[in-house]
Structure 1
């Protein structure tokens, strides 16, 4: 079983763009966005992924995750079957101290929202926070991609 441990933050400036070592586009949808589990289809730079995530623990930091690579054409076909609310975003990767931060700049109906995530090896692992990192929103359901597909940032 693979447990994903991550914390999520709002981003208060775009200074991270100058520090990014990688940048790519993501298109994703949800075949299932139930609160107990999500099944996500993602197309990232032409490569497809199918991901199943379990319910988050009470603090929102960790949950079960299973991911399988699929072809880009398979992902395109599965995206046609997804629930309404496809998400498009640009992801930046920034190495800060000993961690990699993934910063998502959302597009379309979620335009204006910028969220950073950092994966950890344990829930209590310490990490340095860059200056552009803002308020922590770990565990706040409205910032989960599965919820942003249903109630986009533009409707808040």
Structure 2
């Protein structure tokens, strides 16, 4: 299955007023190879094993395969993951016919908030709320696989001010 998504920094916390729900996420990587990542994620009381292929040149499209697994299986897989976990709260914000997944990160990624939107095509038009900031689609620093080994705490303080 092809995943088409765009990713943005978030300017402020106004999105929380528009969120319909939120869930805590714990995730780690069995493999962070640039051409294929294998992720284990616990999302609330559910767990998933996800394989993602290499991103397109613009970073919008890649193959994604996901299978729900039990929490017990996820715990076993977390034990064999590479160092570095991601902890975040995911908020779902519905605007028109689109759902933004807004992730507020914790731990070494505290202070980072990213919104993602899945689309039917890379050029599909979608609403852009005022809290949506700079687009970072294709910027590998903002891939969760990279944030798990090179956290946001090591980024420049200017990251939100990049034109």
Tell me the TM-score normalized by structure 1.
0.98
Deviations along 1:61-102, whole A, 9 cap, x unmatched?
A: 000000000001111111111100011000000001220000
Provide the C-alpha distance between the structure 1 equivalents of 2:107 and 2:24, rounded to a whole number of angstroms.
13
Residue of structure 2 equivalent to 1:15: 14
Residue of structure 2 equivalent to 1:88: 87
Provide the C-alpha distance between the structure 2 equivalents of 1:128 and 1:45, rounded to a whole number of angstroms.
28
Q: How does 1:37-48 map to 2 (within 5 A)?
A: 37-48=36-47
Tell me the TM-score normalized by structure 2.
0.94
- The list of structure 1 runs, each at least 4 consecutive aligned residues, that deviate by more than 2 angstroms after superposition, is none
Residue of structure 1 equivalent to 2:104: 105
Q: How does 1:136-151 map to 2 (within 5 A)?
A: 136-151=135-150
Provide the C-alpha distance between the structure 2 equivalents of 1:76 and 1:46, rounded to a whole number of angstroms.
12
Provide the C-alpha distance between the structure 2 equivalents of 1:69 and 1:94, rounded to a whole number of angstroms.
23
Residue of structure 2 equivalent to 1:62: 61
Residue of structure 1 equivalent to 2:132: 133
Aligned length: 155
Q: Give the secondary structure class of the aligned counterpart of 1:82.
A: coil
Q: Give the secondary structure class of the aligned counterpart of 2:7.
A: strand
